[in-house]
Structure 1
């Protein structure tokens, strides 16, 4: 970024900038959701604790 001072933006320009940023964020979230969907459909591996008789005595 440059150090050149920027003139204050009008509310319409700020609104347009905010809309572009939200659209980009929404696209990123949609992509993240799509990336995570296949892993969410796979069942999680079942983790069963291994209990030994020695552990029960402790």
Structure 2
């Protein structure tokens, strides 16, 4: 590997300083959590309440 490749920093579209990988992952996880929470709220409000069961009701 060349030294140039090892020294490259990711380019940020906002033009700000490059972020660390951990910070990027934390931001992505926060965004994902918010999206999943919103989706869950939408699903909860659009479906009638049912018992949380992952089993079939058919006898074995």
TM-score range for the pair, normalised by the shorter chain length: 0.5 to 0.7
Question: Which runs of no fewer than 5 residues in structure 1 stay unpaired?
Answer: 39-58
What root-mean-square deviation, in Å, do the aligned CA atoms of Structure 1 and Structure 2 show?
1.8
Q: TM-score, normalised by structure 2?
A: 0.52
Q: Give the helix-richer structure, 1 or 2.
A: 1
* CA deviation map 1:24-46 (0-9, x unaligned): 001000001011113xxxxxxxx
User: Does residue 24 of the first structure (1) align with residue 24 of the second (2)?
Assistant: no
Based on CA coordinates, which of the two structures has the bigger radius of gyration? 1
How far apart, in 2, do the equivalents of 1:29 and 1:37 lie?
Answer: 12
How far apart, in 2, do the equivalents of 1:33 and 1:7 lie?
Answer: 38
Question: Which runs of no fewer than 5 residues in structure 2 stay unpaired?
Answer: 1-13, 49-60
Q: TM-score, normalised by structure 1?
A: 0.54
- Runs (4+) of structure 1 exceeding 4 A deviation are none
Q: How many residues align?
A: 36
